[in-house]
Amino acid sequence: MTDHHDNGRIALVTGAGRGIGAATARLLGSRGMRVVVNYLSSDKDANDVVASIQAAGGEAMAVQADVRDAAAVARMTEQVRASMGEVEVLVHNALIPFAVKSFEQISWAELGTKLDEEMRAAFLVTKAVIPCMRAHGYGRIVFMSTGTSRQPRQGMIALGTSKAALNQFARYVAQEMGPHGITANVITASPVDETSIAYLLGDEHRKRQAAQTVLGRMATPDDVARAVAFFANEDSGFVTGTIAAVNGGGAWE
């Protein structure tokens, strides 16, 4: 069943070939949004996501672009405009790589690169969609962050510090863009099963992660996608500048 409010809205999901982004793209597609599946290099994954949306009766297209690259983001926006129209919903989810190291081990190059790339990508994709959202007086922006942006975890100083910057960036975007009908919200997820990071964790580690939640299991990409869908549609019309924990009650923030 599709939600009539969402019908036809164009949603760009960055990093949607796999993991949380793929689950989000599929869900938004099933709810009647026209979905742009952005990815970096895995054409096959992105094309599979598009095919599954289309097989379920939805509309989608895959667009390759490195969201850290201004020219690539501009090309992606042009491609979407030419084939579908203007983006009304942005889900910025792409996973920018980072070093898993302690403060004592990490170099400035490693920490600085993550800070630069995380914020550059968020800045570029937001800049790309704001003018048209503003002109139409409507927009939904959802930024994918992490629990480690608020609660430090071993080895996560690069991820947590850069995502903390993203959280506050989102609040500034929300504050400036509210008068133009654009909302911006952040999701902080706990470790999510069936993602590249989860596959790297051993079974013991995954069990420990599950035990740390009140609900007794790790998050799935679909759990996160459903929260994204709320912030991406009309139901969240009076909610902006929030940072929503999707963590099974893992840590009270």
Ligand X SMILES: NC(=O)c1ccc[n+]([C@@H]2O[C@H](COP(=O)([O-])OP(=O)(O)OC[C@H]3O[C@@H](n4cnc5c(N)ncnc54)[C@H](OP(=O)(O)O)[C@@H]3O)[C@@H](O)[C@H]2O)c1
Q: Which of 27, 53, 61, 67 binds ligand X (CB under 6 A)?
A: 67
d(CA 180, CA 222): 30
Q: Are 241 and 175 in contact (CB under 8 A)?
A: yes
Q: Residues in the chain, how many?
A: 253
**Piece in contact with ligand X (CB under 6 A), picked from 37-45, 102-110, 226-234, 235-243:** 37-45
- Of residues 177 through 196, those in contact with ligand X by CB under 6 A are 189, 191-192, 195-196
Structure token pair of residue 136: 């139409």
Secondary structure element (H or E) that encloses residue 13, with its range: strand 10-13
Size of the site for ligand X (CB under 6 A): 30
33 φ/ψ angles, rounded to the nearest 5 degrees: -80, 150
The binder of ligand X chosen from 17, 32, 160, 248 (CB under 6 A): 17
Pick the closer one to ligand X by CB: 32 or 191.
Answer: 191
**Interface with ligand X, residue 93, by CB under 6 A:** yes
Nearer to ligand X, 177 or 219 (CB): 219
C-alpha dihedral, 59 to 31 to 230 to 6, nearest 10°: 70
2 makes contact with ligand X (CB under 6 A): no
Q: Give the angle 132-88-13 at the CA atoms, nearest 5°.
A: 120
Q: Does 39 bind ligand X (CB under 6 A)?
A: yes
Give the residue, chosen from 11, 14, 27, 140, that forms a contact with ligand X under the rule CB under 6 A: 14
Burial of 154 (0-12, 13-18, 19+ CB in 10 A): exposed
Nearest approach in angstroms of CB 165 to ligand X is 13
Of the residues 27, 28, 95, 227, which one makes contact with ligand X according to CB under 6 A: 95
Burial of 155 (0-12, 13-18, 19+ CB in 10 A): middle
Q: Is 85 left (phi over 0), alpha (psi -120 to 50) or beta?
A: left
| 11 vs 95 by CB, closer to ligand X | 95
Indicate the residue among 41 and 154 with the shorter CB distance to ligand X. Answer: 41
Q: In angstroms, give the least distance from the CB of 234 to ligand X.
A: 24
Closest approach of ligand X to the CB of residue 111, in Å: 16
* β-pairing verdict for 89-92 and 139-146: parallel
SS3 178: helix
Q: Decide if residue 244 touches ligand X (CB under 6 A).
A: no
Residue given tokens 């009304």 in the structure block: 88
Q: Please list every residue from 133 through 172 that binds ligand X, using CB under 6 A.
A: 144, 146
Instruction: Write down the least CB distance from residue 37 to ligand X, Å.
Output: 8
Taking the least distance from each CB to ligand X, the nearer of 40 and 70 is 40
Judged by the rule CB under 6 A, the positions of this chain that interact with ligand X are 14-21, 38-42, 45, 66-68, 93-96, 144, 146, 189, 191-192, 195-198
